[in-house]
Structure 1
Amino acid sequence: MNNPANRRAATGPAMDLVPTPVGTAGITWHRAPRPVRAVALLGHGTATGVEAADLQALAAVLPGHGISVALITQPYRMNRTRTGSDEASPDAAWKAVWPMAADLGVPVISGGRSAGSQVACRTAEQFGAHAVLALAYPLLGPGSPAELLATGRPTLILQGERDPFGRPDQFPALPSDLELVEIPAANHTFDVPGSSSRPATMRLITDETLRWIERQLART
């Protein structure tokens, strides 16, 4: 699957179209200059797509540090329908797009925001992810402590202080390979009171993510 099945013309980064058992998925690449040290394969939530501010912030920052970013648009989002947003369908699509990252021959950080982080948690061990990045994990549903604790890989959780789907103080005790970072005053989409606070919040997310990825790559 090194060659995409199709490519959609777009303003900005091109989107590769990849057939999956549940429809066509999209991969928007934000490539790091060579040598590439790792790739972050990141999925979106159910309410927003890869245009989410946190995903876009990571896509803007990580390539400058040798980490390519692949933003995955699930088939149900491509088709603008909720059909296929059940648990099994996104996992099946993730399996189909995974070789596009794995074939690069560098460590793959599997992750995403909200529902996308759930897909990463459920599949990380099966697909051989190097680590898991969970943005705004929906602990209180549809996620669960059991799902989060079963990643089998080092995991970074970035969680808003006011996230209604699970505040940091509602998380269970975590083993040493799962790290939880609280994003002050942020909700589930990492919005904070006062528009002037958004750049600082995104900078905190990218800084924490980059420091954590550097630690994970150091153990390669």
Structure 2
Amino acid sequence: MTPGPMSVDTPHGEAQVELDDTAGPRGLLVLGHGAGGGVEAPDLLGARAAARDAGLAVARVLQPYRVAGRKAPAPAAQLDAAWAAVVAHLAGLLPGVPQIHGGRSSGARVACRGAAALGPVGVLALAFPLLAPARRDGTRPDRGPEIDAVTVPVLAVSGANDRFGVPAPSATREVVVLAGDHSLRARGPVAAAVRPWLEGLLEGLPMRTPAP
């Protein structure tokens, strides 16, 4: 399989995937972007570097609405359906390779919502937005149930000053709080937080033999 950019048809338009492959990857980390951003966000690149160092392939997914040039995010159901289509496509390219799903902000929410149905071995939630932006009446809907519903291991990495809040640790969720805010621009510290979690998650899984 040739690494690089690829297009994937989804029920809601074309998604673009930046794939970094490695011979005989131990796993595949699939990452989604924030609501108005893209796949070059510093925390996504930090997670990518950590995964590559740990021997994983990495796929960074640009949702169809961003491919079409829109910044306003699509409805959650459309995001989730497009994500599921990309994940299925990647599973066909790398059959039998365990997948870890994740992303930043909106992308982390998509990964959490899809975890039960799509079967990743873990979820990486970067800058998970625990509270929605304030409504006109001042209320802020709680998005905690999305991440709380994930039953596989979760690593949540957040900035200490994230205005959307920081998830709490749980029996299945490790939380790392770094200096910074919701943007998580400290690429190096993100990579340092993510790599040992990835290593621990994949420990004990069989190593794949590189293809001839």
- Asked if these proteins are the same fold (TM beyond 0.5), I'd say yes
Which residue in 1 is equivalent to 2:190?
205
Give 5+ residue unaligned stretches, structure 1.
4-12, 192-200
Q: Provide closer, same or farther for how the CA distance between residues 24 and 84 of structure 1 changes in structure 2, counting only shifts above 3 A.
A: farther
Q: SS state of the match for residue 174, structure 2?
A: strand
Which residue in 2 is equivalent to 1:188?
182
Which residue in 1 is equivalent to 2:136?
none
How far 1:58 moved relative to its partner? 2.5
Counterpart check, 1:176 vs 2:171: yes
Kindly indicate whether structure 1 or structure 2 has the higher relative contact order, using CA contacts under 8 Å at least 6 residues apart: 2
Mapped contact 1:15–1:26 kept (Cα < 8 A): yes
Equivalent residue runs for 1:106-117 within 5 Å: 106-117=97-108
Q: Provide closer, same or farther for how the CA distance between residues 77 and 205 of structure 1 changes in structure 2, counting only shifts above 3 A.
A: same
Structure 2 Cα separation of the partners of residues 208 and 55 of structure 1: 12
Q: SS state of the match for residue 15, structure 2?
A: strand
Mapped contact 1:101–1:108 kept (Cα < 8 A): no
Match of residue 126, structure 2, among 129, 135, 151: 135
Which residue in 1 is equivalent to 2:158?
159
Q: SS state of the match for residue 19, structure 2?
A: strand
How far 1:83 moved relative to its partner? 6.2
Structure 2 Cα separation of the partners of residues 56 and 39 of structure 1: 15
Match of residue 60, structure 2, among 58, 64, 71: 71
Q: Provide closer, same or farther for how the CA distance between residues 137 and 203 of structure 1 changes in structure 2, counting only shifts above 3 A.
A: same
Note the alpha carbon deviations across 1:44-89, whole angstroms, 9 max, x for none.
0112100111112232342232111100000000001246621111
Q: SS state of the match for residue 96, structure 1?
A: helix
Q: Provide closer, same or farther for how the CA distance between residues 147 and 219 of structure 1 changes in structure 2, counting only shifts above 3 A.
A: farther
Q: Provide closer, same or farther for how the CA distance between residues 46 and 14 of structure 1 changes in structure 2, counting only shifts above 3 A.
A: same
With the length of structure 1 as denominator, give the TM-score of the two structures: 0.82
Structure 2 Cα separation of the partners of residues 216 and 61 of structure 1: 13
Amino acid corresponding to residue 109 of structure 1 in structure 2? I
Comparing 39-48 with 59-68, greater Cα deviation is found at 59-68
Note the alpha carbon deviations across 1:1-58, whole angstroms, 9 max, x for none.
x99xxxxxxxxx73110111000001101122x2210010000011210011111223
Identity of aligned residues (%): 37
RMSD value over aligned CA atoms?
2.0
Comparing 61-70 with 44-53, greater Cα deviation is found at 61-70
Equivalent residue runs for 1:57-96 within 5 Å: 57-82=46-71, 85-96=74-85
Amino acid corresponding to residue 19 of structure 1 in structure 2? D
Mapped contact 1:74–1:90 kept (Cα < 8 A): yes
With the length of structure 2 as denominator, give the TM-score of the two structures: 0.85
Which residue in 1 is equivalent to 2:17?
27
Q: SS state of the match for residue 151, structure 2?
A: coil
Q: Provide closer, same or farther for how the CA distance between residues 14 and 218 of structure 1 changes in structure 2, counting only shifts above 3 A.
A: closer
